[in-house]
Structure 1
């Protein structure tokens, strides 16, 4: 079963996320059944994987300051990441650049979201998905929640886990592929990043199906810096 939640215009997003959606969904579930929140990081960059996270929060241990990752500074995200991973159920899945180029970014993101949900230690009874789509293959019913990271604490927690995980991966890729500045822009299409692609050619971690990568490099250009294994 897949459904879309009410329009976010009906809610005061300035108040921040809470557990109201989780409670509403939970009323239709068996007592004690868990609800997970799911979000992604990295749909827009020109390089690197898209990372998804699924989180089941313990309502009795909600970390102070938990909010949409986009509203938090790096230090706060890192602190909350550690608290979420230490005290709650968390699973992460990545879709590689190869999968993104093969399926398109939407298809790769939905695939990775389903993988994250199915990887939780305890199978959830329901999944709340940030955005417009409920991925196929979740293994449980789900609901798409528009602006979910600003409305649901479970989705907000997933947004933090996905963001911090991806940022750390991009720092690792910067060490493997020097010159592109992945640790600075995290793969987004900044002017410095585009200049590096023009100067060095695409690395194995660039999404060749994405514009402007397709237009910035010659079709025959090969990967720079040798062959570096991609993240799965």
Structure 2
């Protein structure tokens, strides 16, 4: 089942009876349009803009989905579920550092490409379901950090709460000092942050062949 399928199923549970095939197609169009609009505009996107992107009228919008908020929640909860799945996989990775960095990359990329996710992480009010997912994600990050520290791969002076702010720092404004932000800037930001987070390598850990002579 695709992300769109899951969001459509969530919306269908809120309707009375099973909509006709053409109605389901319109719901799918609205979900696809909402996903793109939320990424580009954020949770403040209007119902009219979503309807226009989907190629349907505003009347069709409100006949097919309960509300703008319900549609946005269906899209965002599905995206957060995917990120939670990545976090759980990171906790199950054999190498704690590999798991942590894999999660960090997915998290940073999502923040960089979705205004809506940045809104949700920035405490934009939306729905209790997304609040619960963000709380679950915090717990998973805390577990990842404790696991990496126990393994000796994450510096000990960094608290798990710091990780949320450091990863958020990978996403910057669109310009600074007259310079325009590149689409891939977040990758460099993340690489520098991860380099700073990794526990220092002790002299005894460095192979003899690599030690300065």
> TM-score, normalised on structure 2?
0.27
Greater fraction of residues in helix: 2
Quick check: which has more Rg, 1 or 2? 2
> TM-score, normalised on structure 1?
0.25
Using CA pairs under 8 Å that are at least 6 residues apart, name the structure with larger relative contact order, 1 or 2. 1
